[in-house]
């Protein structure tokens, strides 16, 4: 331990030894895939100190003991919710929604004619508090309105149960509208009610979205392939092997011609052969007629 760490530890309410830090980060990694290096020690401390206070514990040593006890299963849920980073916003990385809108218009025009199928399945994987799936829903309603007569489903999954509860509620602070990109203000405003300092999504947007808890590291129970998958700003928290493995699984779960959107800093070192880059962190799966 360095001198500055020692000073910091003396000033902290709870001591956090290297051994405890390693135990907690090891557990977080095995539960979520999230990698927490030494530089994340302050973050881990501040996110868990509150939990220790709520539990009336005196030290991280006691918290680690709790995670080894019979109550571990219940506590790991709190640990995971505390550790995940949930930063998100409406129409984040709005260029993806421009590509989404034009792909939805192609689906609206061609899919039924070519395949007789009027289903559109979209997955927002790592949806956090729901702003991403609501941005997808309002893009559908405003830019490809004929699809509202189709069977359109947005599956919105996350590991963090607190975030899923927020998403299901569909209520956000009025300030969420502050930085909406040009071209999407009406899409949102047509699909919300405003009350005091809050906005609430209307049922027509809400009814398109199905929030479910899913750990991306586990088996995926989906029976059908997706037309579109968003997994943005999630892979950055994982190691290279987990990231490659997930991108391979997303690719397998896409229909031919389907689109995959990743986050702005998630360009791929090892891209599966079946997908090609067509825009900024935007991929399309090869169509059946290719090759």
Ligand X SMILES: C[S@@+](CC[C@H](N)C(=O)[O-])C[C@H]1O[C@@H](n2cnc3c(N)ncnc32)[C@H](O)[C@@H]1O
Q: Which is nearer to ligand X, 96 or 206 (CB)?
A: 96
Q: Which is nearer to ligand X, 13 or 241 (CB)?
A: 241
Q: Which is nearer to ligand X, 94 or 142 (CB)?
A: 94
Q: Which long-range contacts does 38-45 make (Cβ < 8 Å, 24+ apart)?
A: 41/16, 44/16, 44/83, 45/12, 45/14, 45/16
Tokens for 233, please give them: 């700003």
Q: What's the closest the beta carbon of residue 280 comes to ligand X, in angstroms?
A: 14
Q: Alpha helices of 117-173 — where are they, by DSSP H?
A: 131-143, 161-169
Q: Which is nearer to ligand X, 14 or 237 (CB)?
A: 237
The C-alpha angle 90, 286, 283, rounded to 5 degrees, equals: 25
Answer yes or no: 92 catalytic. no
DSSP β-ladder status, 282-285 and 254-262:
antiparallel
Q: Which is nearer to ligand X, 73 or 288 (CB)?
A: 73
Length of the chain: 291
Q: Where would I find the beta strands (DSSP E) of the chain? A: 119-125, 151-158, 171-173, 192-195, 198-201, 209-213, 226-231, 254-262, 275-279, 282-285
Residue 212 CA to residue 129 CA, distance in Å, equals 12
Q: What's the closest the beta carbon of residue 61 comes to ligand X, in angstroms?
A: 27
Q: Which residues contact 59 (CB under 8 A, 6 or more apart)?
A: 14, 15, 52
Question: Which spans of this chain sit near ligand X (rule: CB under 6 A)?
Answer: 32-34, 84-88, 92, 126-128, 132, 158-160, 163, 215-217, 232-234, 237, 263
Q: Alpha helices of 184-287 — where are they, by DSSP H?
A: 185-189, 203-206, 240-252
Q: What's the closest the beta carbon of residue 76 comes to ligand X, in angstroms?
A: 13
Q: What's the closest the beta carbon of residue 8 comes to ligand X, in angstroms?
A: 27
Q: What's the closest the beta carbon of residue 160 comes to ligand X, in angstroms?
A: 4
Spot the catalytic one: 3, 10, 42, 47.
47
Q: What's the closest the beta carbon of residue 40 comes to ligand X, in angstroms?
A: 14
Residue 280 CA to residue 288 CA, distance in Å, equals 24
CB 144 within 8 A of CB 108: yes
Answer yes or no: 196 catalytic. no
Q: Which is nearer to ligand X, 76 or 215 (CB)?
A: 215
Cβ-based neighbour number of residue 209 at 10 Å:
22
CB 117 within 8 A of CB 223: no
- Residues labelled catalytic: 47, 158
């Amino acid at each position: 331990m360095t001198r500055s760490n020692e000073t910091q530890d003396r000033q902290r309410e709870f001591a956090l030894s290297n051994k405890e830090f390693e135990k907690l980060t090891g557990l977080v990694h095995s539960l979520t895939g999230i990698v927490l290096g030494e530089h994340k020690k302050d973050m881990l401390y501040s996110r868990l100190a509150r939990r220790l206070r709520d539990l009336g514990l005196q030290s991280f040593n006691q918290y680690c003991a709790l995670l080894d006890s019979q109550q571990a299963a219940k506590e790991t849920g709190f640990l995971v919710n505390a550790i995940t980073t949930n930063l998100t916003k409406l129409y984040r990385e709005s260029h993806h929604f421009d590509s989404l809108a034009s792909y939805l218009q192609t689906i609206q025009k061609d899919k039924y004619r070519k395949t007789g199928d009027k289903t559109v399945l979209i997955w927002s994987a790592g949806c956090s508090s729901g702003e991403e799936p609501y941005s997808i829903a309002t893009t559908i309603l405003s830019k490809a309105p004929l699809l509202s007569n189709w069977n359109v489903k947005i599956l919105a999954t996350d590991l963090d149960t607190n975030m899923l509860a927020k998403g299901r509620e569909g209520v956000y602070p009025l300030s969420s509208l502050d930085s909406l990109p040009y071209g999407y203000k009406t899409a949102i405003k047509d699909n919300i009610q405003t009350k005091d300092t809050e906005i609430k999504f209307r049922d027509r947007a809400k009814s398109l979205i199905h929030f479910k808890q899913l750990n991306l590291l586990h088996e995926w129970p989906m029976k059908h392939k997706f037309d579109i998958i968003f997994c943005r700003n999630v892979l950055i928290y994982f190691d290279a092997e987990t990231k490659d493995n997930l991108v391979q699984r997303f690719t397998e779960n896409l229909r031919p011609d389907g689109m995959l959107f990743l986050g702005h800093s998630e360009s791929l070192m090892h891209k599966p052969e079946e997908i090609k880059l067509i825009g900024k962190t935007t991929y399309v799966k090869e169509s059946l007629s290719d090759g």
